[in-house]
Amino acid sequence: MNYKLIPFLSILLCSFMLSAQQKLPKKKAQIKKSIENHQSDLIGISDAIWANAETAFEENESSKLLADYAEKNGFQVERGVAGMPTAFVATYGSGKPVIGVLGEFDALPGISQKALPTKEALDEGAAGHGCGHNLFGTGSLGAAIAIKELIEQGKIKGTIKFFGTPSEEKYFGKIWMVNEGLWDDVDVNISWHPSAEIKADTQSSLALVDFKVEFFGQAAHASADPWNGRSASDALELYTAGINYYREHVKPTVRMHYHIQDGGQVVNVVPDYARLWVRVRDTKRSGLMPVYERVMEMAEGAAILANVDYKISLISGIYELLVNRTGEEVMQKNLELLGPINYTTEEIAFGKKIQEVTGKEQVGMDSKIKPLEDTKEHPGGGSTDVGDVSWNVANINLGVTTAPKDTPWHSWAVVACGGMSIGHKGMLYASNAMAMTMLDLFEDPKLVKSIKDEYLERKGKEVYKAIIPEGPPPIPTK
Ligand SMILES: [Zn+2]
């Protein structure tokens, strides 16, 4: 080796790497151009959804903004699918393959925030996009439109479907859409989620069941004639004590939460009514079900102790996510092709300010492409109704940086970033990564087959059954 050549070779290597990142194959360059052409509209839609911040099943304006833009761009839009006014499917093209992409758009109550790096409500007490779903829905639609344009120009053949999926944060709208068979003709589905890092997602999520427990007693004066009363809130307290004792005897993968929704109104009345929302999670649905049964049984015990009646109602439940490594490898290649997100000095300062205010190390943004991880048998983290989709069609998942490293999720800090350029950059990056991955699927039937084969193998013999109560979805009545 001639050592004098090393600097020359390294310059050559660097310039090669640079050109590899910058020079995209022709159709992928067209995708990038399409997303650039729609960029100002997409940012406008995302910002409008961000400012509206509509919560579960009340996302009327947000759903309409996305569905209208899909329609304006030539998609056939079916609104109000699966009994949910804000759910819709936008379709373009015909024949195989059929590729789906998910778009969420609901906000979280009580975390309204301005696009500032310090806590300041936009509208005190109102909702905010603390999970970045304004970016999620809009970014996915940007990807669907880029693919639609390639189909329209005759460069690829097949069908693209954008699924407008409401109420991810509360009732899990996708379950009703899955139950309606909306993914039955889809070959591969793609999804992404706002995050504090960029990675092709090779980890599952937690399965869960939500149910409501109500106790019914007898009201009485709390001091004058308490012997005439039977307290529903006594039962509620005994019930939560039971759950808390039970924590010691469940596997470490189990999570149990409850939210007291009604524990009585005033101190001088023995409450005749109490209600709580209970959630049980585990890494697999199979591990979850016995814990769920046990936690339900405890309600009877509490009711006997307090001499009251009780009622349990299923709200809904979701499956753990089925990972598809074959699909994630395709996504990974596209992330490497796109390279990291570049941030301005102002954006880095914005990120560091959020880290300072939330007591985190001030390291700024993390936009490097993470290597593909091994899939863990028991991952931590949250749950998503994308899990139910992934039991009905092969699914590829992506996380893209839309907030600084270590940002507390479901908080004002995520809302802040989702309403400014850090969020917008992540959203447009996700549009590119998903559209480029979809393009690879449209162009390679063998790849689609191997992704579907892995899906069938992971699903095995388990038969999917949606965990929902009888009747229509719980749409709030005004
Ligand atoms: Zn989310």
Instruction: Please state whether beta strands 98-104 and 188-195 pair in parallel, antiparallel, or not at all (unpaired).
Output: parallel
pLDDT on residue 33: 98
Q: How far is the CA of 132 from the centre of ligand 1 (A)?
A: 7
Amino acid at 385: D
d(CA 305, CA 61): 48
Average pLDDT on 113-142 reads: 98
Q: How far is the CA of 223 from the centre of ligand 1 (A)?
A: 47
pLDDT on residue 14: 41
Q: How far is the CA of 268 from the centre of ligand 1 (A)?
A: 41
Q: How far is the CA of 158 from the centre of ligand 1 (A)?
A: 29
Q: How far is the CA of 79 from the centre of ligand 1 (A)?
A: 22
Q: What are 51-93's pLDDT values in tens digits?
A: 999 999 999 999 999 999 999 999 999 999 999 999 999 999 9
pLDDT on residue 163: 98
Q: How far is the CA of 194 from the centre of ligand 1 (A)?
A: 7
pLDDT on residue 380: 86
Q: Are 417 and 423 in contact (CB under 8 A)?
A: yes
Average predicted confidence (pLDDT) for the chain: 95
Tokens of 81: 């699918």
pLDDT on residue 460: 96
pLDDT on residue 8: 46
**Residues with Cβ–ion distance below 5 A, ligand 1:** 131
Average pLDDT on 3-24 reads: 49
Q: Decide if pLDDT at 17 tops 70.
A: no
d(CA 133, CA 168): 9
Amino acid at 419: G
d(CA 231, CA 221): 11
Q: How far is the CA of 133 from the centre of ligand 1 (A)?
A: 6
Q: How far is the CA of 45 from the centre of ligand 1 (A)?
A: 18
Q: How far is the CA of 325 from the centre of ligand 1 (A)?
A: 22
Average pLDDT on 290-313 reads: 98
Average pLDDT on 234-240 reads: 98
Q: How far is the CA of 169 from the centre of ligand 1 (A)?
A: 7
Q: What are 180-230's pLDDT values in tens digits?
A: 999 999 999 999 999 999 999 999 999 999 999 999 999 999 999 999 999
Percent with pLDDT over 90 in the chain: 93
Percent with pLDDT over 70 in the chain: 95
Q: Decide if pLDDT at 304 tops 80.
A: yes
Tokens of 219: 């009201």
Q: How far is the CA of 46 from the centre of ligand 1 (A)?
A: 15
Q: Decide if pLDDT at 305 tops 80.
A: yes
pLDDT on residue 22: 60
Amino acid at 201: D
Q: How far is the CA of 130 from the centre of ligand 1 (A)?
A: 8
Q: How far is the CA of 367 from the centre of ligand 1 (A)?
A: 19
Q: How far is the CA of 123 from the centre of ligand 1 (A)?
A: 21
Q: How confident is the model at residue 343 (pLDDT cuts 50, 70, 90)?
A: very high
Q: How far is the CA of 195 from the centre of ligand 1 (A)?
A: 9
Q: How far is the CA of 5 from the centre of ligand 1 (A)?
A: 51
Q: What are 393-446's pLDDT values in tens digits?
A: 999 999 999 999 999 999 999 999 999 999 999 999 999 999 999 999 999 999
Q: Decide if pLDDT at 478 tops 80.
A: no
Q: How far is the CA of 124 from the centre of ligand 1 (A)?
A: 22
Rounded (10°) CA dihedral 454, 457, 458, 461: 150
Distances in whole angstroms, Cα of residue 215 to Cα of each of 51, 238, 240, 430: 39, 11, 12, 46
pLDDT on residue 23: 84
d(CA 218, CA 222): 11
Q: Decide if pLDDT at 5 tops 90.
A: no
Q: How far is the CA of 408 from the centre of ligand 1 (A)?
A: 13
Q: How far is the CA of 410 from the centre of ligand 1 (A)?
A: 8
Rounded (10°) CA dihedral 215, 218, 223, 224: 180
Q: Decide if pLDDT at 277 tops 70.
A: yes
Q: How far is the CA of 171 from the centre of ligand 1 (A)?
A: 13
Q: Are 319 and 458 in contact (CB under 8 A)?
A: no
Q: Are 365 and 347 in contact (CB under 8 A)?
A: yes
Q: How far is the CA of 8 from the centre of ligand 1 (A)?
A: 47
Q: How far is the CA of 206 from the centre of ligand 1 (A)?
A: 14
82-107 as b/e: b if 16+ CB within 10 A: bebbbbbbbbbbeeebbbbbbbbbbb
Q: Decide if pLDDT at 6 tops 50.
A: no
Q: Decide if pLDDT at 12 tops 90.
A: no
Q: What are 309-338's pLDDT values in tens digits?
A: 999 999 999 999 999 999 999 999 999 999
Q: How far is the CA of 13 from the centre of ligand 1 (A)?
A: 40
Q: How confident is the model at residue 147 (pLDDT cuts 50, 70, 90)?
A: very high
Q: How far is the CA of 313 from the centre of ligand 1 (A)?
A: 25
Q: How far is the CA of 276 from the centre of ligand 1 (A)?
A: 23
